Structure 1
Amino acid sequence: MAQARKADVDFFQLLSHLLQQVETLTNREEVELRAKIEALGVEITKVPLKPSVHLNEMEIARELDKLSAKLDYVDEMISSAMASDPLVQSLLSSVADVWMPVITATSDEKRNFIRSIRDVTSANDNLK
């Protein structure tokens, strides 16, 4: 479980780093997109509270409904950003082959992906 959280944290750090690179290249600050990435990162990496009692099926269903609502909200935020800013839509579309597999990846796959991205980034930084 801790390794999965670490992979998620690493993934959102990678997203922030990529956004920073885009901002540098375009000389334009993406405040709204940065805030949305940070908010999503907080939600995804949040440590759930340990229940003091075991939940019954109805309570589990309510908790799942709450989580579903949060995911719907995140989807709405991303869709809104894409609809209101063509640059965001273009950016997300052009890198979908990178972020979609990472989002749907297992913890091990995320760690391997992030490790390979760091290797490439380090190699690029050394060339500068």
Structure 2
Amino acid sequence: MAEEGKADEQLFQLLSSLLHQVEALTNQEEVELRSKIEALGLEVTKVPSKSAQHLDELEIAKELDKLSTKLDDVDEMISSALAEDPKVQSLLSGTADVWMPVITATAEERLNFSAPTGDDCSEVGGKTSN
């Protein structure tokens, strides 16, 4: 990371030097361009604050509450759809073996899920019997 900072510093020194040469050759001061180069140099070398990267326990709890509320809303929508339309209930029941493992899987298990390729399409519906 120190190397990146050094490279950035060298780049902006070069830009400033080139701008100075252009100003000397044209006998015109490029105030706007100089200020833009300086502002960009400051922005590039700015160190991000650490607090923005880490959530404290209260912020995590708030995010979990938001997710819980969203899940409650989804549950309510599914429940009302099931009650109102028998086709929805039949569809969800008939496909539960596909979507339930995804919903109930841990994060690690989800990483191992993959879409079937052309070679293993015969196994999509479950194990084939021989």
TM-score (norm 2): 0.44
TM-score (norm 1): 0.45
Structure of higher CA gyration radius: 2
Q: Return the structure number with greater relative CO, CA threshold 8 A, min gap 6.
A: 1
